[in-house]
Amino acid sequence: MQKGALCYEGKAKKLYTTDDPQLLWVAYKDEATAFNGEKHAILQGKARLNNEISSMIFTTLAEKGCPSHFVRKLSATEQLVKRVTIIPLEVIVRNKVAGSLAHRLGLKEGMQLAEPLVEFCYKDDSLGDPLVTEDHIAILAAASQAEVARMKEQALRVNELLSSLFARLGVILVDFKLEFGKTETGALLLADEISPDTCRLWDEKTGARLDKDLFRHELGNLQEGYEEILARLSTSSS
Ligand code: C5P
């Protein structure tokens, strides 16, 4: 597999073409951003941690019948994925109140939700990725009604699988964000990454944060938290 030209650079990853037009080469970056890019830092080792963790999670999901764009790991910091056109929506699933939900509704952080909550945000940095309803999604033509239903269904399935995976590792999956894309044939496919950058993960016993809130709110060393998640995932797969 040959790495071709840079075709996209995001906050945490670079995407390159390959000699196969259906596949892209993802290189994770040692960079952390928060609050829509207002806070930024270079964090040595983050690329490896997110690549390893995301690869393990996508592999586990595939084994449980939940496919994604992930094809295989290429190196410590790189992976091969299927090329998709990203749907401009962030699909957020929440099991407990935290982050923007706590702020928006004035609810106490850590409150258990009776049922998992699914939210959609419109991916647009200039607007600050606003929360949108299904009617907004229709106006924006971001996805069809059927695609919205399918994304919600798949997101809830991912939540079931990952909540029980992390529970076995003594970690609470508080919330997470997914992105979906469409293949050339129009099929919906789970894409982007699933890592401590995109999930809230709390240690079950101590409540310690093992995710990007360590960086967002300066609660501790990000790499140590991510190493802990990688170590626990590694014991579960060995
Ligand atoms: O900030 P908020 O509480 O809405 O985030 C919900 C979840 O979605 C968190 O796990 C957060 O890490 C993730 N998220 C993300 N990328 C964004 C916004 C949120 O990964 N742009």
Interval 181-213: pLDDT, tens: 999 999 999 999 999 999 999 999 999 999 999
- H helix intervals, 20-95: 46-63
Does ligand 1 come within 6 angstroms of the Cβ of 92? Answer: yes
Question: What sign results for the dihedral spanned by CA atoms 217, 123, 191, 149?
Answer: positive
Q: How far is the CA of 197 from the centre of ligand 1 (A)?
A: 8
Domain spans in the chain, listed from the N-terminal domain onward: 3-82, 85-222
Cβ burial 116-134 (10 Å sphere, 16+ → b, else e) = bebbbbbeeeeeebeebee
Query: Could you say which architecture CATH assigns to the domain 85-222?
Result: 2-Layer Sandwich (3.30)
**CATH number of 3-82, picked from 3.30.200.20, 3.30.70.20, 3.30.950.10, 3.30.1330.60:** 3.30.200.20
Across the range 145-170, mean pLDDT stands at: 98
Residue 79 alpha carbon to ligand 1 centre in Å:
23
**Torsion, Cα of 11, 32, 155, 129 (10° steps):** -60
Do 37 and 31 meet the contact criterion of CB atoms below 8 Å apart? no
- Contact 26/9 with Cβ under 8 angstroms? no
Residue of 39, 175, 216, 229 best suited for mutating to test ligand 1, as the one with most atoms within 8 Å of CB: 175
Mutation pick for ligand 1 pocket among 177, 190, 216 (CB with most ligand atoms within 8 Å)? 177
**Which tens digit of pLDDT belongs to each residue from 21-44?**
999 999 999 999 999 889 999 999
**pTM (two decimals):** 0.97
In tens, the pLDDT along 99-142 reads: 999 999 999 999 999 999 999 999 999 999 999 999 999 999 99
pLDDT at 238: 60
User: What's the pLDDT score for residue 1?
Assistant: 86
ipTM here: 0.98
Angle at which helices 145-168 and 46-63 cross, to 10°: 100
% of the chain with per-residue pLDDT over 70: 100
Write the pLDDT tens digit of every residue in 44-69.
999 999 999 999 999 999 999 999 99
pLDDT at 37: 86
Q: Which residue out of 50, 91, 92, 209 has the highest number of ligand 1 atoms within 8 Å of its CB and is therefore the one to mutate? A: 92
Ligand 1 centroid, distance to 104 Cα (angstroms): 14
